[in-house]
Amino acid sequence: MVEHDSLIAAAKQARENAHAPYSNFRVGAALRATSGRVYTGCNVENSTYGLTVCAERVAIFKAISEGERGFDAIAVVTHTDVLTPPCGACRQIIWEFCGDVPVILANLKGQVEVHRMSKLFPKPFDSSFL
């Protein structure tokens, strides 16, 4: 897990910027590009909930908007006792832009699990169906 420590630390730091006044469910994500650069994101809630954006999508969209196209890992950090995987929308976006990357789940208690995207999202819809 040592190779994931810096990515987890970046996700923890990003979590501090979360805007979660309604749910108090603060999430941080850190995405490592194949260039070595790390892009972070936090969840940003909206009172309608439907306009809320998850941390994973914020990190990916930041990276894409900066011109990155290759990624090799993403970390997601929450404060929960049970490690929290990405939601369905985030799984689709992770698959679309990152492929079968390792998804590192961590919490503030130091628990860590690593799952391949293909295990979290076994039958994805992607461009191969178009």
Task: Note the pLDDT of residue 57.
Answer: 98
Q: Which of 16, 45, 56, 96 is catalytic?
A: 56
Task: Note the pLDDT of residue 24.
Answer: 97
Give me the tens of pLDDT residue by residue for the chain, a chain 130 residues long.
Answer: 668 999 999 999 999 999 999 999 999 999 999 999 999 999 999 999 999 999 999 999 999 999 999 999 999 999 999 999 999 999 999 999 999 999 999 999 999 999 999 999 999 999 999 9
Whether 3 is a known active-site residue: answer no
Do the beta carbons of residue 98 and residue 116 sit within 8 Å?
Answer: no
What type of residue is 112?
V
Task: Note the pLDDT of residue 3.
Answer: 80
Domains of the chain: 2-121 (3.40.140.10)
Task: Note the pLDDT of residue 1.
Answer: 60
| Whole-number Å distance between alpha carbons of 31 and 49 | 24
